[in-house]
């Protein structure tokens, strides 16, 4: 049996190791297109903060890990798949046969069509090469403008602030982390960040970037308000890497459509991680959910099924925990809710809690400033616990979520 895995991020690495455990005699090839050992993109901000070195970003720490496990690492860019003859083709023209194929190609950062977006000193923060370029320029006192204040943008913000730069953040949405936080919660995070010395502009966009001597001139909105910068970071979102699948027969929406076994529409081709649109935990409908825990879980499930097993995904569930300059926020599940919920706001102490229900089941939650027992919110959502009388108690006092977990979820278990 010959397994090929395209993509050597968390989903690909977990899949390769799972396959090796289940099929000791199989051939396993793991393909990445960067001249780096497999590494975690989510570790890059910690590299910029100086908490870890480059070795700390590597997914496996020993230099012979993959050799020891009989996993053949290949560097190259796959340009297309011929599913009829079960071959992949590299950009070089070389072809490889597969019996089972896993696509775990992740996503790539968006670069909006802004005049000047390709100037030197305008970077995304996605690869180790990006991190090296940013580290060289983001020195104490440097003027940095960051485009985007989503989940990844806030992680990058934390790293840049720790380097002592003069930071300005520009977000098109009406609040920070708009895809994770309610309006009140996003506004609270904005106020916190501003209190730490970071300038934040919402409801606007960068309209142009121009070279101005050694510096950059960043223009905002139609009015053209100008900011001087030494460095611009683009954190405007990501998109699945699916372009090379044209003509392969693999069904694609926004990402690769998969069933709960991570099977694509083409026999013997599977997909896992950020490149997929997997069934949602609550709706069962295809949805993108680009977070590392989902990627690793999907890689494991895909590998079990590639090896002839029968594993199924519970459903793709949003799980986000964010540290923004010391303010901890979380969102779980269908945090936007369906109209039946409760919200607790303590503006003075930067504390916030929102619980969302469907009947007597907690389907989503958002929090700021809560660190103790916050995992109980995820537990209640993930176990689809019937709260019974606990729902009325939580509507009256949402801070009782841990007591509800012990009283309802643990009792049910």
Query: What CA–CA distance (Å, rounded) separates 14 from 384?
Result: 27
Question: What CA–CA distances, in Å, run from 218 to 117, 119, 168, 210, 266?
Answer: 10, 12, 11, 7, 46
Q: How would you classify the pairing of strands 2-6 and 100-103?
A: parallel
Per the CB < 8 A criterion, the answer to whether 124 and 28 are in contact is no
Q: What is the chain's Cα-based Rg?
A: 23
Per-residue pLDDT of the chain (413 residues; tens, 9 = 90+): 999 999 999 999 999 999 999 999 999 999 999 999 999 999 999 999 999 999 999 999 999 999 999 999 999 999 999 999 999 999 999 999 999 999 999 999 999 999 999 999 999 999 999 999 999 999 999 999 999 999 889 999 999 999 999 999 999 999 999 988 999 999 999 999 999 999 999 999 999 999 999 999 999 987 768 999 999 999 999 999 999 999 999 999 999 999 999 999 999 999 999 999 999 888 888 888 777 888 999 999 999 999 999 999 988 888 889 999 999 999 999 998 888 999 999 999 999 999 999 999 999 999 999 988 888 999 999 999 999 999 999 999 999 999 999 988 666 55
Query: What CA–CA distance (Å, rounded) separates 188 from 165?
Result: 23
Q: What are phi and psi of 227, to 5 degrees?
A: -120, 135
Query: What CA–CA distance (Å, rounded) separates 232 from 187?
Result: 24
Helix (H) or strand (E) run with residue 5 in it: strand 2-6
Per the CB < 8 A criterion, the answer to whether 185 and 354 are in contact is yes
Structure tokens at 290: 């680009």
- pLDDT on residue 44: 94
Cα-based angle 46, 52, 56 (whole degrees, multiple of 5): 105
Of 197, 204, 180, whose CA–CA distance to 144 is shortest? 197
User: In the β-sheet with 95-97, what is the strand arrangement from edge to edge?
Assistant: 78-82, 87-90, 95-97
Q: What are phi and psi of 126, to 5 degrees?
A: -130, -30
Question: What CA–CA distances, in Å, run from 196 to 144, 164, 345?
Answer: 15, 12, 21
Residue with tokens 């960040």: 193
pTM for the structure as a whole: 0.91
pLDDT tens digits, 101-113: 999 999 999 999 9
Q: How far is CA 71 from the centre of its chain?
A: 26
Structure tokens at 150: 């989503």
Per the CB < 8 A criterion, the answer to whether 229 and 369 are in contact is no
Of 201, 207, 189, 275, whose CA–CA distance to 238 is shortest? 275
Question: What CA–CA distances, in Å, run from 405 to 378, 387, 398?
Answer: 10, 9, 12
The DSSP line for 49-61 is HTSS-HHHHBSS-
- pLDDT on residue 411: 63
């Amino acid at each position: 049996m010959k397994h090929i895995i395209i993509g050597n991020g968390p989903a690909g690495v977990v899949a390769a190791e799972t396959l090796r455990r289940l099929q000791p005699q199989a051939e396993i090839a793991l393909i990445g297109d960067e001249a780096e050992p497999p590494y975690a993109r989510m570790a890059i901000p910690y590299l910029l903060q100086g908490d870890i070195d480059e070795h700390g970003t590597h997914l496996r720490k020993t230099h012979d890990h993959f050799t020891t496990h009989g996993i053949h690492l290949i560097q190259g860019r796959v340009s297309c798949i011929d599913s009829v003859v079960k071959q992949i083709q590299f950009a070089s023209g070389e072809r490889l046969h597969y019996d089972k194929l896993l696509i775990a190609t992740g996503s790539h950062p968006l670069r909006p069509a802004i005049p000047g977006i390709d100037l030197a000193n305008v970077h995304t923060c996605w690869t180790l090469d990006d991190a090296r370029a940013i580290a060289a320029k983001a020195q104490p006192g440097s003027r940095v403008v960051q485009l985007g204040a989503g989940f990844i943008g806030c992680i990058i913000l934390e790293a840049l602030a720790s380097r002592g730069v003069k930071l300005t953040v520009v977000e098109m949405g009406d609040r920070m982390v708009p895809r994770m936080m309610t309006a009140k919660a996003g506004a609270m995070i904005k106020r916190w960040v501003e209190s730490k010395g970071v300038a934040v502009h919402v409801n606007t966009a960068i309209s142009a970037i121009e070279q101005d001597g050694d510096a950059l001139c960043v223009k905002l909105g139609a009015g053209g308000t100008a900011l001087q910068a030494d460095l611009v970071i683009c954190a405007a979102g990501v998109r699945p890497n699916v372009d090379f699948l044209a003509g392969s027969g693999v069904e694609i929406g926004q990402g690769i459509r998969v069933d709960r076994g991570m099977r694509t529409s083409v026999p013997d081709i599977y997909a896992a991680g950020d490149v997929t649109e997997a069934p949602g935990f609550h709706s069962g409908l295809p949805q993108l959910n680009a977070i590392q825990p989902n990627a690793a879980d999907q890689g494991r499930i895909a590998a079990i099924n590639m090896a002839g097993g029968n594993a199924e995904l519970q459903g793709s569930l949003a799980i986000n925990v964010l540290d923004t300059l010391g303010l901890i926020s979380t969102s779980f599940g269908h945090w936007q809710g369906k109209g039946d919920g409760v919200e607790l706001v303590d503006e003075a102490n930067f504390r916030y809690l929102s619980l969302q229900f469907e009947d007597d089941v907690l389907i989503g939650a958002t929090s700021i400033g809560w660190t103790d027992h916050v995992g109980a919110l995820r537990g209640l959502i993930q176990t689809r616990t019937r709260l019974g009388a606990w729902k009325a108690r939580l509507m009256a006092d949402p801070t009782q979520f841990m007591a509800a977990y012990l009283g309802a979820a643990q009792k049910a278990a």
